[in-house]
Amino acid sequence: MLRLYQTTVHSRLMLGSARYPSPQVLADAVKAARAEIVTVSLRRESAGERAGQAFWSLIRELGVRVLPNTAGCHSVKEAVTTAHMAREVFGTTWIKLEVIGEDDTLQPDVFGLVDAARTLCAEGFEVFPYTTEDLVVAERLLAAGCGLLMPWGAPIGSGRGLNNLFGLKALRAHFPEVPLIIDAGLGVPSHAAQALELGFDAVLLNTAIAQAGDPVRMAAAFAQAIEAGLAARQAGPIEPRDLAVPSTPVIGTAFRG
């Protein structure tokens, strides 16, 4: 089980809700992934009242926990305002905080992110900050009141996997007790398995499933990968070595003089 603020969940796979071919495919993918948390964009659901109501009905029927996000926000004021609106609309203090600083990579503006997190945490929000693997930024976010961190694996929607293994390993080592969720950039189930093998607690993804040829089958594959990665981590993998180590005992075997 995984504890996020005051909530305990069993699934370590969280899904986004955008860009699916249809609401039914989204519903089937969520079920196949066995996801308990689904992110939603306030802007998308507010674009059309009737469409928004239909989506909200679908989420309620799935019985998942909603994690609203501030996707598309480029300033502290914009992100904070969106978070307040999301709390009213969705009735939750959870907020996935995004403050975008660069349009081509959608890299977080970590300075604005820390400011916005400080404001929202002080106002009673439970903040899920979309951040980089930078250790200093991580310290600032935790000091601001965040109870977990969501570092990117790679740019949103890129499918490139875990780009900076050294940085991600360092982040895990520096904050062994903090829940860490890989958010963005994963493309295939092996990326998710690798994240869990490294000791990360969960992954959040959208594009890799929503835009797959068969989103439902891909969702099931990611669920299996998460289980495999967690089991491997708990089993205690061997450390990499520079030299070969015989897997067959050499004592008592014949050898040439």
Helix (H, G, I), strand (E, B) or coil at 233: helix
| Alpha helices, H only, 127-175 | 135-144, 165-174
Exposure string of 50-68, with b = 16+ CB inside 10 Å and e = fewer, is: eebeebeebbeebebbbbb
Q: Identify whether the C-beta of residue 82 lies closer than 8 Å to the C-beta of residue 42.
A: yes
Task: Measure the CA angle with vertex 114, ends 110 and 119; round to 5°.
Answer: 145
Strand 7-9 and strand 13-15: the pairing is: unpaired
Phi, psi of 91 (to 5 degrees): 65, 40
Q: Is 96 a catalytic residue?
A: yes
User: Which of 31, 77, 96, 169 is labelled catalytic?
Assistant: 96
Q: Identify whether the C-beta of residue 111 lies closer than 8 Å to the C-beta of residue 118.
A: no
Number of neighbours of residue 133 by Cβ within 10 angstroms: 23
Residues catalogued as catalytic = 96
